[in-house]
Amino acid sequence: MRATVLALALIAASGAWAQGQAADPLAEANALYRDGKFAQAAAAYHEALDSGLDGPRVHYNLANGLYRDGQIGEAIAHYQAALISAPRDGDIRANLDRALGERPDGRPAPSASWIHAA
């Protein structure tokens, strides 16, 4: 009986630890962005995507970090990915429009479909 209780306690603790670990990439990325470390924030948001966290907010925040780091083309792709999931989000649309207007080379933005290709 003691072994069963101990095993259940360890399983519960490991589950809580794993949930805390899953939140870390976003918390770290948000802190880096707030500190103005945009390239590092973008890398942390990429880690969040790689770990399975997905959704319009992750792509939007990644795009903001990339945009602030001067990586306009990749930022546009992530704004587009965010807009696919949240087509009525005015913030995503506004930032995408701003990024599209600042694309220096006049080339079309890379397609967001490559993000989901992996």
- Name every residue whose Cβ is closer than 8 Å to that of residue 48 and which is 6 or more positions away in sequence: 25, 26, 29, 58, 62
Q: Specify the pLDDT at position 24.
A: 74
Segments in the chain forming alpha helices (H): 2-34, 38-50, 56-68, 72-85, 90-101
Superfamily of domain 23-116, CATH level 4: Tetratricopeptide repeat domain (1.25.40.10)
Q: Where are the domains of the chain?
A: 23-116
pLDDT band at residue 1 under the 50/70/90 scheme: low
CB atoms within 10 A of CB 14: 10
Does pTM surpass 0.75?
A: no
- Summarize the confidence of residues 71-92 as an average pLDDT: 96
